Amino acid sequence: MTESQAAGRDVADRRGAAPGYAPGHTLGFWIEVRRQLGRRRTLGVFAFMALLPLILILAFAIGNPADLGRSSTVNLVDVATTGALNFMLFIFFVTTGFFLVIVFALFFGDTVASEAGWGSLRYLLAIPVPRGRLLMRKLLVALFLSLAALAVLMAVSLVAGWIFYGWHPVGTPVGIELSPGAASWRILLIAAYIAVNMLMVGALAFYLSVRTDAPLAAVGGTVFIVIVSSILGQVDALGDLRNWLPTQYNFAWVGMLGVPPDTSQMIRGVSFALAYAAILLALAFRHFHKKDVTS
């Protein structure tokens, strides 16, 4: 036995751990990713993210836009079929308020609560996996899957939009036209903003996930809170108090379609999203370290 091996064994013995045990090597990231990808709910989410753009293209194909007339409000559905990039922006518009909320809430809210509900959480901790490492691994995998689902939605929207509608400049509902090159970096920033904004939703779901053994309670509770926040955001009587609601800046990314782009609301949205997420995640880790895991 070498000197370094003997020293490592002495340290392991003093900690009461088996020789060769390294807490930092337990529950690898890709091991957890493979576990989650093997679940039907994960495959179902990715499948629906890929199907949604095709369903919308089919809806446009069988419908008659002339029957709709001109909309009294400005929205991206008016220009959705004018090109691939416009179609992607339309996908962002229709999924930001609710659909992506469900996706992020599902991945973040189910990750710990499902293990507790199955009774496998205590066995993971008995391996033993350090609590902080277990929770961080669950958090990172949920974030990875959520961003991957968003990437699938974007990729299918872009490819399907290019096939059916061609590659044309981006035309906004107010008559502004952007070349594909000028629009591409804006769309990437919009996607990044949506991901950061949804992180707040994920953090709320993750916090509820460590507080309950029922995944449906964590996911449903998150969606309910987001819906209530969205409703309160429409109440003018609240005045400036609405600016503190977590959903107030969901569509701040629309400012990126102006000339020049207006990022003031996006900056406020990012600040609020990161602040809310940091507080909720800190509460989640604090509660999990104190939690008596018996199920």
- Give me the mean pLDDT over the 75-82 stretch: 74
Nearest to 107 by CA among 209, 249, 194, 193: 209
Summarize the chain as % helix, strand, coil (round to 5).
75, 0, 25
pLDDT tens digit string along 201-228?
A: 999 999 999 988 888 999 999 999 999 9
- pLDDT category of residue 117 using cuts at 50, 70 and 90: low
Specify the pLDDT at position 258.
Answer: 80
Backbone dihedral angles phi then psi of residue 68, each to the nearest 5 degrees: -80, -30
Is the pLDDT confidence value at 104 over 90?
yes
CA 46 to chain centre: 13
Selection from 22-36, 71-85, 187-201 with the highest mean pLDDT: 187-201
In the numeric block, which tokens belong to residue 196? 């950061």
178 pairs with which residues across the strands? 170
Q: Which helix (H) or strand (E) holds 104?
A: helix 99-110
* pTM, rounded to two decimals: 0.84
What is the rounded distance in angstroms from the CA atom of residue 160 to the CA atom of residue 164? 6
Is the pLDDT confidence value at 53 over 80?
yes
- Give me the mean pLDDT over the 66-88 stretch: 68
Backbone dihedral angles phi then psi of residue 73, each to the nearest 5 degrees: -120, 150
Largest alpha-carbon pair distance within the chain?
Answer: 82
Residue 129 · residue 26 · CB < 8 Å = yes
Task: Give the range among 28-37, 94-103, 192-201, 266-275 with minimum mean pLDDT.
Answer: 28-37
In the numeric block, which tokens belong to residue 89? 């922006």
Nearest to 284 by CA among 226, 242, 222: 222
